[in-house]
């Protein structure tokens, strides 16, 4: 291959530039040209095909900085409709006109579903990204456990597989470590204010229906972690909160945005998106939980302990929000994201199509990159499901990560932060120039490099 394309689809993550960087570096080594498409699939849908040459003269353009969060190429939640062959024809004509012979899509489960229409006609490889860490499988046969009822709604059979970390497909995805870093720091910070004011904090974290971010937030030492995979049982929860409150006069609870009640209903509300994986936008879980606790614990409980204050004054909610999706990626994410980007280029060169680059882990070898056929992530009906956190990672009684969950987290986080991550804060945050000079956006520079089809 002489020329390939790359794009970033779906929600952004902090490690996207690192993946692009790894891909551009590897393409240059292989003497391949690489073009970046602007704002994900939206570029391909645009007749002018906005694009940037990322390695003119086989040199990485200087704007591409692996330590920058977000994506210099821009991202969008636009996907290709699966039922419009005419549109795919048009896209292929455009790519052909540009001389692009293969495509790398950096994305998650939605992107993998979305790139499908192209794979019959052009080699396409997915390089993974998601802060939710829900792209992959807990074990290779997981997709076979899905079945559909008469109304075509999906359900899951109870698994008979003995879980083994080494059998996970895509152990961890770039973006997750940085999101957990940010979340754990947020938890630590909320703690001291909850402690000082004798309050109960509920901190909502992202992750949709997968509890990985909540699980990882345990590094910030919350008292209680609630994950979407395990329904909230209000009585034991209230009992645990009261025990803790009586002892330490503050409680910090982390809840995933997708937590459900005992009937399996989401505590927050959900809103449909354009994502072909069926991903929804979730909001309000922590607020609902707060309302439940206010009702169950009542003002009496607090007024005797907080000199007349109400339950609503004592229980507060904070969302970590988009800070967990933005900013500088930590060392773990940068390093493996760029390796995955490089591997994606190798895979195109070796003739892979409809395949995924994965980050595997083994007790002997640690982390290593590998390839996995896209179809092996699909169920019988072709759907890719977000990977739930494996049930064994969570201790329902203690409402904390289990030993298996701890064993899962350790390889990722033990050396996740580099010295330069810390030095970066020291050198840049209180730089006097920050007060005087306007922010210089990478978009301003990339805009100067955008070209269009004639
Ligand atoms: O999938 C990543 C994610 O950050 C989820 O954790 C979250 O639910 C969703 O995207 C939020 O999407 P957006 O910020 O694009 O509305």
| 132 Cβ inside 6 Å of ligand 1 | yes
Distance from the CA of 108 to the center of ligand 1, in angstroms? 12
**Span 107-129, pLDDT tens digits:** 999 899 889 889 999 999 999 99
- Give the model's pLDDT for residue 85: 86
- Give the model's pLDDT for residue 374: 95
Distance from the CA of 206 to the center of ligand 1, in angstroms? 7
Distance from the CA of 11 to the center of ligand 1, in angstroms? 6
281 Cα nearest atom in ligand 1: 8
Q: Strand 315-319 and strand 200-205: pairing? A: parallel
Which residues of the chain have a pLDDT value below 50? none
Distance from the CA of 207 to the center of ligand 1, in angstroms? 7
- Give the model's pLDDT for residue 277: 63
Distance CA 272, CA 346 (A): 36
| 213 Cβ inside 6 Å of ligand 1 | no
| 36 Cβ inside 6 Å of ligand 1 | no
Distance CA 420, CA 330 (A): 9
Choose which residue among 9, 11, 179, 268 to substitute to test ligand 1 binding: the one with the highest number of ligand atoms within 8 A of its C-beta. Answer: 11
| 207 Cβ inside 6 Å of ligand 1 | yes
Among the listed residues 182, 145, 204, the one whose alpha carbon sits nearest the alpha carbon of residue 390: 145
| 229 Cβ inside 6 Å of ligand 1 | no
| 206 Cβ inside 6 Å of ligand 1 | yes
| 107 Cβ inside 6 Å of ligand 1 | no
Q: Are 129 and 101 in contact (CB under 8 A)?
A: no
Distance from the CA of 13 to the center of ligand 1, in angstroms? 10
Distance from the CA of 287 to the center of ligand 1, in angstroms? 18
| 325 Cβ inside 6 Å of ligand 1 | yes
Among the listed residues 170, 188, 178, the one whose alpha carbon sits nearest the alpha carbon of residue 127: 170
Distance CA 223, CA 234 (A): 16
- The tokens describing 220, both together, are 């910030």
- Give the model's pLDDT for residue 416: 98
- Give the model's pLDDT for residue 281: 81
Q: What is the dihedral of CA 47, 106, 115, 46, to 10 degrees?
A: -10
- Give the model's pLDDT for residue 322: 96
Taking the CA atoms of 34, 108, 364 and 181 in sequence, report the sign of the dihedral they define.
Answer: positive
- Give the model's pLDDT for residue 388: 96
Distance CA 9, CA 16 (A): 10
Distance from the CA of 416 to the center of ligand 1, in angstroms? 23
Q: Which residues of 91-130 are buried (b: 16+ CB within 10 A; e: fewer)?
A: beebbeebebbbbbbbbbbbbbbbbbbbbeebbbbbbbbb
Distance from the CA of 327 to the center of ligand 1, in angstroms? 15
Q: Which phi and psi angles does 244 have, rounded to 5°?
A: -65, -45
Distance CA 34, CA 196 (A): 54
State the Cα angle at 369 between 368 and 370, rounded to 5°: 120
Residues in the chain, how many? 454
Distance from the CA of 111 to the center of ligand 1, in angstroms? 14
324 Cα nearest atom in ligand 1: 4
134 Cα nearest atom in ligand 1: 1
The pTM assigned to this predicted structure is: 0.96
Distance from the CA of 261 to the center of ligand 1, in angstroms? 21
């Amino acid at each position: 291959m002489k020329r390939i394309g790359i794009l970033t689809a779906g929600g952004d993550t902090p490690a996207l530039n690192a993946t692009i960087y790894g891909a551009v570096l590897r393409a240059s080594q292989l003497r391949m040209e690489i073009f970046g498409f602007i704002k994900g699939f939206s570029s391909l849908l645009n007749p002018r095909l906005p694009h940037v040459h990322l390695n003119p003269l086989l040199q990485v353009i200087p704007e591409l900085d692996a330590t920058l969060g977000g994506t210099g190429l821009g991202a969008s939640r636009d996907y290709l409709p699966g039922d419009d062959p005419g549109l795919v024809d048009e896209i292929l004509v455009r790519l052909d006109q540009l001389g692009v012979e293969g495509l790398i899509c950096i994305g998650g489960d939605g992107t993998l579903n979305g790139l499908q229409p192209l794979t019959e006609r052009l080699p396409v490889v997915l390089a993974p990204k998601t802060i939710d860490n829900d792209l992959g499988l807990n074990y290779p046969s997981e997709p076979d456990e899905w079945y559909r009822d008469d109304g075509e709604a999906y359900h899951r059979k109870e698994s008979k597989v003995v879980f083994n970390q080494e059998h996970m497909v895509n152990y961890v995805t770039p973006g997750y470590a940085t999101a957990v870093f940010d979340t754990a720091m947020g938890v630590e910070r909320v703690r001291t204010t909850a402690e000082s004011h004798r309050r109960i904090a509920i901190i909502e974290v992202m992750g949709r229906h997968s509890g990985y971010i909540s699980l990882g937030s345990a590094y910030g030492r919350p008292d209680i972690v609630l994950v979407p995979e395990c329904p909230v049982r209000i009585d034991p929860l209230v009992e645990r909160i009261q025990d803790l409150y009586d002892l330490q006069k503050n409680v910090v609870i982390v809840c995933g945005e997708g937590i459900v009640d005992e009937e399996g209903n989401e505590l927050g509300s959900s809103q449909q998106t354009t994502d072909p994986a069926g991903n929804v936008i979730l909001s309000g879980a922590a607020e609902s939980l707060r309302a439940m606790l206010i009702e169950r614990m009542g003002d009496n409980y607090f007024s005797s302990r907080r000199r007349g204050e109400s339950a609503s004054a004592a229980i507060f909610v904070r969302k970590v929000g988009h800070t967990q999706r933005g900013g500088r990626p930590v060392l773990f994410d940068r390093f493996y994201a760029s390796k995955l980007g490089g591997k994606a280029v190798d895979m195109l060169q070796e003739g892979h199509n409809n395949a995924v680059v994965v980050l595997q882990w083994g007790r002997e070898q640690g982390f290593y990159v590998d390839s996995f056929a896209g179809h092996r992530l699909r169920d019988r009906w072709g759907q890719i499901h977000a990977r739930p956190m494996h049930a064994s990672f969570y201790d329902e009684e203690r409402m904390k990560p289990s030993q298996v969950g701890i064993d899962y987290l350790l390889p990722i986080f033990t050396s996740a932060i580099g010295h330069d991550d810390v030095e970066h804060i020291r050198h840049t945050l209180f730089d006097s120039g920050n007060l005087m000079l306007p922010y210089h956006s990478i978009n301003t520079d990339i805009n100067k490099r955008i070209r269009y089809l004639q």
